[in-house]
């Protein structure tokens, strides 16, 4: 039984070790280009160690000179000590600069890489993470790795060199003092084993708690208006205090352990120092060593003990680094979107500029990762100069269909195709299967306020950087937004606050539609994009889109039947399929609204 238990324990340890190795290799991919600088940093550490030991040696000489009244050597030794102090200061400043440079470069590189990879991660997989958790991993864990890179292998080598050089110096001068450096080793090793276990658990708890607090803060600040409207200020303040108490309790638990371990290490260090001090007095008393030698040995003994404690602390540091690496790797190992057909999509767009693009969803079945089925053998089609409507109760799949068109989600069965003009996929015309690469053929206005902070012009040029003021004005007119923009003192240079602040919901929707129109994409998707508009303005916007000479294919989702009369074809989502509605049924829906 015991053998079987040990077998499983060893397997767990082996698995953890392999995981740490894998995470360490991942960190290496970012720091390998800085190996030259890191070697230089390590050599600086060796030089600094040498200078520190030389300072100890000349301090011993100074004490011996003074106690021996050798006045002729005082000035020379004093000048050498000043030179060594200046050298130490210079080496430390250069080391700090190099450390800061490497840390900032690695931090920026990791964050930029993680940022880009998050944006190309499979959308549905990404939604399994809270935004606050993603921000916490991107910010805290990346910074933890970048700040700890130099405190890992280079510092480990520097401290090993320091320990060996100091020990050799003590050993050569008086081997008996060397024994005192190892008196505290058993305690340090035992504590490092305990600390390693606690450190792993604490890092995981701390990261989870940090993500929880970050998510709470992000959601709270994003929904201040709702919190005020429902008089929830007291509730959210109490929730924050509760989270803070949980965090404080967690940190204090670890702090208590750190205090006890520090006290034990300090006590051991103090005992070792006093033993060394007593032994030094005895050696001086018997004439075996000089006062200067005793001073140097006492300093080096304390140095050796502290360096040894530092070396044992590298295990928790390694655990902290690899834990952060593992949290980032969790995100990076999620499935990626396939953008391999970018060139083909560019060529397809060029070919269809004058003809427009038709789209076909054929026999599509889709269910969420949770298992909830949304579509089963659903099909629809849309062509240039058409406005196609998707109607149905909330939660039946209208937005999901648009996400399938954008390839944010991939159907388990069936596929979507884009075709030149009104050609069908089976008629031999130019066509492309929908994929992340074909998103450049779409313009999308999602539900809610999607404007960014900045000027109106900056928001517009996000989708077309080279757009002229005249082009922006034309699209604002098509979206019926120019009527309120032209009244602003700064016009299109007027500022938009965060989440569209400074404009009504209807105005923000019209700005979002104008931005989508400016992209000049062959396919326009409007997801409840006119829900905040009055009926008359809604009709004007849709009529403007229809009358625009650009061969645009438009698909709208709506819960307001009043817009259906302007649509070429209306699909109702029923029994997980897309059914074309007859005019009588559409008229009935409009009359009953």
pLDDT for the residue 15: 56
- 325, two tokens: 């690496």
Query: Count of H helices and E strands in the chain?
Result: 21, 12
Decide if pLDDT at 162 tops 60. Answer: yes
> Which band of pLDDT confidence, cut at 50, 70 and 90, is reported for residue 8?
very low
Taking the C-alpha atoms of residue 442 and residue 77, their distance in angstroms, rounded to an integer, is 78
Q: How far is CA 81 from the centre of its chain?
A: 48
- 519 φ, ψ to 5°? -65, -20
> Which band of pLDDT confidence, cut at 50, 70 and 90, is reported for residue 382?
very high
Q: Which of 246, 223, 247, 248 is nearest to 236 (CA)?
A: 223
Q: Which of 556, 550, 555, 559 is nearest to 360 (CA)?
A: 555
Taking the C-alpha atoms of residue 294 and residue 300, their distance in angstroms, rounded to an integer, is 10
Q: What is the pLDDT of residues 174-210, one digit of tens each?
A: 777 666 656 655 655 565 555 555 665 666 677 677 7
Q: Quick one: angle between helices 291-312 and 185-222, nearest 10?
A: 50
Helix (H, G, I), strand (E, B) or coil at 252: helix
Specify the DSSP class assigned to residue 533: S
Decide if pLDDT at 577 tops 80. Answer: yes
Alpha carbons within 13 A on the beta-carbon side of 307: 22
Give 443's strand partners. Answer: 524
pLDDT for the residue 473: 92
2-17 average pLDDT score: 48
| 183 class by beta-carbon count within 10 Å (0-12 exposed, 13-18 middle, 19+ buried) | middle
Q: What is the pLDDT of residues 118-155, one digit of tens each?
A: 888 888 788 888 777 788 788 888 888 877 776 677 88
Decide if pLDDT at 12 tops 60. Answer: no
Decide if pLDDT at 365 tops 90. Answer: yes
pLDDT for the residue 197: 58
Between the CA of residue 314 and those of 17, 58, 418, what are the distances in Å? 15, 31, 57
Decide if pLDDT at 427 tops 60. Answer: no
Average pLDDT, whole number, for the chain? Answer: 79
Polymer length in residues for the chain: 593
Between the CA of residue 544 and those of 121, 158, 322, what are the distances in Å? 36, 71, 57
| 74 class by beta-carbon count within 10 Å (0-12 exposed, 13-18 middle, 19+ buried) | middle
> Which band of pLDDT confidence, cut at 50, 70 and 90, is reported for residue 9?
very low
Helix (H, G, I), strand (E, B) or coil at 427: helix
Q: What is the pTM of this model?
A: 0.71
pLDDT for the residue 527: 87
64-83 average pLDDT score: 71
Taking the C-alpha atoms of residue 474 and residue 482, their distance in angstroms, rounded to an integer, is 8
pLDDT for the residue 316: 66
Q: Write the DSSP assignment of 314-334 as a string of letters.
A: HHHHHHHHHHHHHHHHHHHTS
Decide if pLDDT at 1 tops 70. Answer: no
Taking the C-alpha atoms of residue 303 and residue 270, their distance in angstroms, rounded to an integer, is 12
- 455 φ, ψ to 5°? -80, 165
Q: Which of 320, 318, 330, 361 is nearest to 156 (CA)?
A: 318
Q: Which of 447, 398, 386 is nearest to 572 (CA)?
A: 398
SS3 content of the chain, % helix, strand, coil (to 5): 65, 10, 20
Decide if pLDDT at 485 tops 70. Answer: yes
Q: Which of 305, 288, 130 is nearest to 219 (CA)?
A: 130
Query: CB under 8 Å to 345, separation ≥6 — which residues?
Result: 432, 437, 438, 440, 441
Lowest model confidence (mean pLDDT) among 362-371, 525-534, 564-573: 525-534
Which domains does the chain possess? 16-332 (1.20.1560.10), 342-592 (3.40.50.300)
48-70 average pLDDT score: 76
Q: What is the strand order of the sheet 357-367 is part of?
A: 373-382, 357-367, 413-420, 431-433
Residue 170: count of CB within 10 angstroms of its CB: 22
Query: Do the beta carbons of residue 325 and residue 152 sit within 8 Å?
Result: no
Q: What is the pLDDT of residues 230-247, one digit of tens each?
A: 677 888 888 888 888 888
pLDDT for the residue 567: 84
């Amino acid at each position: 039984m015991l053998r079987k238990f040990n077998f499983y324990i060893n397997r767990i340890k082996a698995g953890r070790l392999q995981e740490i190795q894998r995470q360490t290799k991942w960190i290496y991919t970012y720091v390998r280009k800085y190996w030259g600088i890191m070697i230089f940093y390590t050599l600086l550490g060796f030089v600094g160690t040498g200078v520190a030991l030389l300072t100890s040696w000349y301090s011993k000489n100074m004490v011996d000179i003074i106690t021996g009244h050798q006045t002729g050597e005082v000035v020379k030794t004093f000048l050498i000590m000043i030179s060594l102090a200046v050298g130490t200061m210079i080496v430390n400043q250069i080391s700090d600069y190099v450390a800061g440079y490497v840390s900032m470069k690695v931090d920026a590189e990791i964050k930029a890489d993680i940022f880009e990879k998050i944006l190309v991660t499979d959308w549905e997989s990404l939604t399994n993470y809270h935004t606050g958790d993603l921000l916490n991993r991107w910010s805290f864990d990346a910074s933890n790795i970048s700040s700890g890179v130099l405190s890992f292998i280079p510092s480990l080598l520097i401290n090993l060199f320091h320990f060996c050089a100091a020990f050799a110096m003590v050993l050569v001068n008086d081997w008996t003092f060397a024994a005192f450096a190892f008196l505290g080793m058993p305690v340090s090793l035992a504590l490092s084993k305990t600390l390693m276990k606690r450190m792993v658990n604490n890092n995981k708890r701390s990261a989870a708690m940090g993500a929880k607090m970050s998510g709470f803060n992000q959601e709270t600040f994003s929904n201040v208006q709702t919190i005020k409207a429902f008089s929830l200020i007291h509730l959210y303040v109490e929730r924050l205090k509760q989270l803070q108490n949980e965090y404080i309790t967690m940190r204090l638990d670890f702090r208590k352990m750190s205090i006890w371990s520090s006290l034990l290490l300090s006590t051991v260090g103090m005992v070792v120092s006093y033993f060394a001090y007593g032994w030094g007095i005895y050696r001086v008393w018997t004439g075996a060593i000089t006062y200067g030698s005793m001073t140097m040995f006492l300093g080096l003994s304390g140095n050796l003990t502290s360096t040894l404690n530092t070396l044992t602390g590298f295990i928790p540091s390694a655990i902290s680094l690899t834990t952060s690496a593992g949290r980032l790797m969790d995100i990076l190992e999620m499935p990626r979107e396939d953008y391999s057909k970018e060139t083909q999509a560019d060529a397809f767009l060029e070919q269809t500029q004058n003809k427009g693009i038709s789209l076909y969803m054929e026999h599509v079945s889709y269910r969420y990762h949770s298992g909830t089925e949304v579509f089963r053998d659903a099909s629809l089609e849309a062509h240039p100069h058409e406005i196609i409507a998707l109607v149905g109760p909330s939660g039946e799949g209208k937005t999901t269909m648009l996400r399938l068109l954008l390839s944010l989600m991939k159907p388990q069965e069936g596929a979507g195709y884009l075709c030149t003009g009104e050609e069908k996929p089976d008629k031999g015309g130019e066509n492309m299967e929908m994929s992340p690469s074909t998103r450049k053929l779409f313009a999308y206005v999602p539900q809610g306020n999607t404007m960014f902070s900045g000027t109106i012009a900056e928001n517009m040029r996000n989708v077309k950087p080279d757009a002229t003021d005249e082009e922006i004005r034309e699209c604002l007119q098509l979206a019926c937004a120019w009527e309120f923009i032209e009244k602003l003192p700064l016009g299109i240079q007027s500022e938009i606050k965060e989440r569209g602040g400074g404009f009504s919901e209807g105005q923000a929707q019209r700005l979002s539609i104008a931005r989508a129109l400016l992209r000049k994409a062959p396919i326009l998707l409007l997801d409840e994009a006119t829900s905040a508009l009055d009926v008359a303005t809604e009709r004007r916007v849709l009529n403007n889109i229809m009358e625009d000479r650009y061969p645009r294919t438009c698909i709208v989702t709506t819960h307001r039947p009043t817009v259906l009369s302007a649509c070429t074809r209306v699909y109702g989502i029923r029994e997980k399929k897309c059914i074309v509605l007859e005019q009588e049924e559409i008229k009935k829906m409009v009359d009953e609204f």
